[in-house]
Chain A
Amino acid sequence: MAGTHSALRVLDVSKSFGGVRAIRNVSLEIAAGERISVIGTNGAGKSTLFNAVAGVFAVTSGTIELFGETVTKLSTATRAKRGLARTFQTSRLFEQLTAADNVFIALGGNEYTGGLLRLARRNPQRWASVERLLDRVGLEGRGRQQVADLSHGEQRQLELAMALALQPKLLMLDEPAAGFSPAERGKLITLLRELPQEITLLLIEHDMDIALAVASRVIVMHDGEKILEGTPDQIRNSERVREIYLGGSIDHAA
């Protein structure tokens, strides 16, 4: 894992909200093209880590590097331009617009000045991309629906289409399967496995099945710290993980 090939490097990052230390001295490194899952129970600090990397808030201490460049102080928008795309755990879609409009806007995040004052509907190339992306995530023919009329599952699919619209180098998904039916989970796993190899994936997931099925390496967080890292098989067989997920951690609390 040489520095130049790492997609993301988190060095000794901590974040406190008031007196609460949400994450403590977390370090991790993800090589370009790797598939990583971060798992952990509620309140383990997964989402805080995720938001710190995305740049939603400033970290209390530590450094974050994207593609070999320090981005600790850069804005969310700038990080997005460097090739980072994320989804949101609770839907933050453009509710009053159609699914197609949502993706159309997402595609605009990359091109900045080009044709801002051109009528949106006179942009056949971009609409063609919209269509391709909708097809890719399984929303064929749903483009004209208002977001409010989409089912929960479809909204999650739309989330993914919008993240992919940025043609990200690093794709971060925040619990993409939350509220999914088993059938939808299956579809999501297939979709994630089919992502082009050059996309680095960082997945935060509550659901062990998906986390382990998609990732080549799994990071376990607990109480704001990274406590374990390993292959899906190692994690599956870990006594410690079972303890955390089933019984809480009596030893750690002391």
Chain B
Amino acid sequence: MTKLVEFTRTRRSGLSRYIWILWIAALGAAIVFPFVVDRPRFWLPNIGVRSLWLGIIAMSLVFLNRYIGLLSLAQATIAGISAYGVGYMMVTRGQGFFVAVPVGILAGTLAGFLVALIAARTKAIYFLMITLALGQVFYSYASQAIEVTNARRGLAPIIKPNLGFIDLGTITSFYYFALALAVICYLLCRFVAATTFGLALQGIRDSPERMSALGYKINRYRIAAITFAAFIASIGGVVLVFDRAQVDPNVVSLGSTLDILVVAVIGGIGSLGGVFIGAIIVTMLDNFAQDFTDRYMTLTGIVFIIVLLFAPAGIGGIGKQARRVIDRRRKDTTPAVMESPQQEPSAALPTDEAITKGKQQ
């Protein structure tokens, strides 16, 4: 029995045992954020809420990359479809929040399921290209379907409603609304990853052939995972649409797709929580870089390259990177671990892991 407890409890080792302190601190900072910034009217929507929905959508991408090893470029599109669902119900159909939001999330999730049916059999670069292509298909649909999407002009206005118990119309309460959804999405992803299902997904990521030989129908698992990620992205889409107060083809453009990818890579393509750091960095650059340079896109690009060079696992992966280095130092100095000398390092190239492992597939 003792051994059993060991299995389950010591999976997290060293520094990562204390990572929850970091999380509490980050959450605390996010909660007091509206009260410490000098101009809440600027900070809350432009940095706060925007980082949150960018983070939620990027998190769905990171979930897929980390747990099934597939890089999906359809996440921005799926969030956009959810946003369009909300917009259509509210603007065209005149429905309220409690009808529009479930419809939006359902539409996005369903779109993700359809993407999964088409793309789940492919891997690596092919998966990436298919998801990208499907995103572009929807983009051109959204730009033209006047009756549904109102083409280039989009659907507006989408007004943040007063729900009685909370008035989403005030910037502070809308920020908390977005924050709550982000936390729920994060916990949901963590939960799914820790289930038996999540473990099986990781098995598929590492060796699909083996999983088939073990009797797993791997396509069903992939489809389920992609659909789940679409659900998360759809929630991001809901926050997005109320934040922007409108939805137009720009939301599902290639540029938006790239924004999500940049956020994910800067935050850490293997780190679910790290995406929010990535999102904050990107929104800050977006808002402030213009003040001192015209070439703020170039600046974003430079930051992107620096991250790839020095922390390929992203900002969220720095902790892991540091731990590996420390662990290795310790291994070198402690004679106790020398029992099995043949198991030396080459196997553990920590930093490339997150990205290459994901793409290898």
A contacts, CB < 8 Å to B: 54, 56, 75-78, 80-81, 85-86, 88, 92-98, 100-102, 104-106, 108-110, 115-121, 123-124, 127-128, 130-131, 141, 143-144, 148-152, 162, 165-166
Q: Does B332 touch A at the CB level, under 8 Å? A: no
Q: Tell me the bound Cα distance from A129 to B347 in angstroms.
A: 28
- In Å, the complex CA distance between A106 and B214 comes to 6
State whether the Cβ of B334 lies closer than 8 Å to any Cβ in chain A: no
* Interface residues as binary, B96-138 with A (CB distance below 8 Å gives 1, 0 otherwise): 0000000000000000000000000000000000000000000
A92 to B214, CA, bound (A): 12
Contact check, A96 vs B202: say whether CB atoms are below 8 A apart. yes
Nearest first, the 7 A-B pairs at minimum CB distance are: A109-B214, A80-B215, A109-B215, A94-B206, A148-B347, A76-B212, A121-B8
Interface residues of B in 321-361 (CB under 8 A from A): 340, 342-343, 347-348, 353, 357
Can you pick out 23 interface pairs between chain A and chain B where the beta carbons lie within 8 Å of each other?
A56-B209, A77-B217, A80-B215, A92-B210, A94-B206, A95-B206, A95-B207, A96-B357, A98-B11, A100-B7, A105-B211, A108-B199, A109-B211, A109-B216, A116-B195, A117-B192, A118-B195, A121-B8, A123-B196, A124-B4, A127-B8, A131-B4, A149-B343
Interface status of B307 (Cβ within 8 A of chain A): no
A81 and B199 CA atoms in complex are apart in Å by 20
B194 near A110 with CB under 8 A, answer: no
A85 with B213, Cβ < 8 A, contacts A131-B3, A131-B4, A151-B343 known: yes
Chain B residue numbers with a CB within 8 Å of A152 are 342
| CB closest chain-B residue, reference A122 | B8
Chain A residues contacting B8 (CB-CB under 8 Å) are 121, 127
Alpha-carbon distance between A93 and B197 when the two chains are bound, in angstroms: 18
Give residues in B with beta carbon < 8 Å to A.
3-4, 6-8, 10-11, 191-192, 194-200, 202-203, 205-207, 209-218, 340, 342-343, 347-348, 353, 357
Distance from A102 Cβ to chain B, minimum over Cβ atoms (Å): 8
Q: Are B206 and A96 in contact (CB under 8 A)?
A: yes
Contact A93 B4, beta carbon cutoff 8 Å: no
Looking at the assembled complex, report how far the CB atom of A164 sits from the nearest CB atom of chain B, in whole angstroms.
12
Q: How far is the CA of A127 from the CA of B2 in the complex (A)?
A: 12
Contact B343 A150 (CB under 8 A): yes
B214 and A162: CB pair below 8 A?
A: yes
Report A-chain residues with C-beta under 8 Å of the C-beta of B11: 98, 144
Contact partners of A104 in chain B: CB under 8 A: 199
A149: chain B residues within 8 A (beta carbon): 343, 347-348
Identify which of A56, A101, A128, A144 contacts B199 (C-beta below 8 A): A101
Task: Report whether over half of chain B's contact residues are helix, strand or loop; otherwise say mixed.
Answer: helix
A130 touches B214 (CB 8 A): no
Chain B residues near A121 (CB-CB < 8 A):
8, 194
Residue from A88, A116, A144 within 8 A of B210 (CB atoms): A88
Judge whether B195 and A119 touch: CB under 8 Å.
yes
Residue pair A105, B10 in contact (C-beta under 8 Å): no
Chain A: CB-nearest residue to B224: A116
Contact A81 B210 (CB under 8 A): no
Q: Tell me if B210 and A93 are in contact (CB < 8 A).
A: yes
Are the C-beta atoms of A94 and B343 separated by less than 8 Å?
Answer: no
Question: Are the CB atoms of A130 and B203 closer together than 8 Å?
Answer: no
A144 pairs with B7, CB closer than 8 A? yes
Given the known interface contacts A120-B198, A149-B347, the answer about A144 and B6 at a Cβ–Cβ threshold of 8 Å is yes
Q: Are B343 and A110 in contact (CB under 8 A)?
A: no
A97-B203 in contact (CB<8A): yes
With A85-B213, A94-B202 given, can you name 18 additional A-B contacts, CB distance below 8 Å? Answer: A76-B213, A77-B217, A80-B213, A81-B215, A96-B202, A96-B353, A97-B202, A98-B7, A100-B7, A105-B211, A108-B199, A108-B216, A109-B211, A109-B214, A116-B197, A127-B4, A131-B7, A151-B340
Residue from the list A92, A120, A144 in contact with B194, Cβ < 8 A: A120
Complex CA gap A81/B195 in Å reads 22
Q: In the assembled complex, which residues on chain A have CB atoms less than 8 Å from the CB atom of B217?
A: 77
Output the nearest chain A residue to B69 by Cβ-Cβ distance.
Answer: A96
Bound-complex Cα distance A41 to B10 (A) = 45
> Which B residue's beta carbon lies closest to that of A145?
B343
Q: How far is the CA of A87 from the CA of B211 in the complex (A)?
A: 11
Q: What chain A residues lie within 8 Å of B202 (beta carbons)?
A: 94, 96-97, 101, 105
Residues of B within 8 A of A78 (CB): 215
Q: With A76-B213, A108-B196 as given contacts, are A130 and B206 in contact (CB-CB < 8 Å)? A: no
Q: Are B348 and A128 interface neighbours, CB within 8 A?
A: no
| CB-contact partner of B214 in A96, A105, A141, under 8 A | A105
